[in-house]
Amino acid sequence: MTTRPPFTYRFEPGGRTGAPPLLLLHGTGGDENDLLHLGAMISPDSPLLSPRGRILENGMPRFFRRLAEGVFDEEDVRHRALELGEFIQDARGRYGIGSPLAVGYSNGANIAAALLLMRPRVLSGAILLRAMVPLTDPPAADLDGKPVLILSGRQDPIVPADNAAALASMLSTAGAKVDHRLLPVGHQLSQADITLARAWVAEAKHQATVS
């Protein structure tokens, strides 16, 4: 049996307000510290679980291998999504948290989308910032009304608008409740991302308490 090195990660326990746990997934070249501030702005008081991607591309951490920009090693995507799913389940047991809402940026958004399709029960929903289709032929998943917010950039040089639209349609076909917005920005995050994500989480929390 080979023993894999554990994920490097940060965990912040959050406040006692019942805010949903967030799984923070950084972009290429980021690490476990990158999105902690963003997570706290999107959902103050949420427990934050933030792993570092275990692939290194020229020294830059990522969550799966790619063959070129926007061209993914899909076998690795599948394998890494399952591995991340196991990490989340272990962390849930360790910290006593519920299934998290993923907040992923770029490469982190892509692995979150793959995880939704490969292991639909692991996440309670997702905020996908500058995401693209992670798998051309995903398994049939039942996302059972899980809320997913996709924020794409109209001038994004990395994610073509039709690819983001294809992801939105793939996730809604699998049963997710998708809200896809196209912002007048590029690949970088903007203040609008934070404002929209924060309002969306507050609304999702409100829906969960009234339903």
User: Among this protein's residues, is 169 annotated catalytic?
Assistant: no
Q: How far is the CB of 112 from ligand MLT (least distance, A)?
A: 11
Instruction: Give 94: exposed, middle or buried? Use CB within 10 Å, 0-12, 13-18, 19+.
Output: exposed
Q: How far is the CB of 58 from ligand MLT (least distance, A)?
A: 12
Beta-ladder partners of 23: 49, 102
DSSP letter, residue 123:
-
- Ranges within 88-147 binding ligand MLT (CB under 6 A): 106-107, 110
What is the SS3 assignment for 193?
helix
Q: Quick one: 168 or 201, whose CB is closer to ligand MLT?
A: 168
User: Among this protein's residues, is 76 annotated catalytic?
Assistant: no
Distance, in Å, from the CA atom of 80 to the CA atom of 50, rounded to the nearest integer, reads 16
Q: Quick one: 79 or 198, whose CB is closer to ligand MLT?
A: 79
- Residue 150 has phi, psi (to 5 degrees) of -115, 120
Catalytic residue among 26, 106, 152, 180: 106
- In this chain, which of 3, 58, 59, 69 binds ligand MLT, going by CB under 6 A? 69
User: Among this protein's residues, is 156 annotated catalytic?
Assistant: yes
Name, in order, each residue with C-beta under 8 angstroms of 101's C-beta and a sequence gap of 6 or more: 20, 21, 22, 23, 43, 123, 124, 125, 126, 127, 201, 204
Q: Quick one: 70 or 96, whose CB is closer to ligand MLT?
A: 70
Question: How many residues of this chain interact with ligand MLT, rule: CB under 6 A?
Answer: 9
Angle at 140 between CA 63 and CA 119, to 5 degrees: 40
Q: How far is the CB of 167 from ligand MLT (least distance, A)?
A: 12
- In this chain, which of 28, 43, 46, 50 binds ligand MLT, going by CB under 6 A? 28
Q: Quick one: 19 or 60, whose CB is closer to ligand MLT?
A: 60
- 27 belongs to the binding site for ligand MLT (CB under 6 A): yes
Instruction: Using alpha carbons, select from 91, 110, 109 the residue that is nearest to residue 100.
Output: 91
Residues belonging to the active site: 106, 156, 187
Residues that bind ligand MLT (CB under 6 A): 27-28, 66, 69-70, 106-107, 110, 158
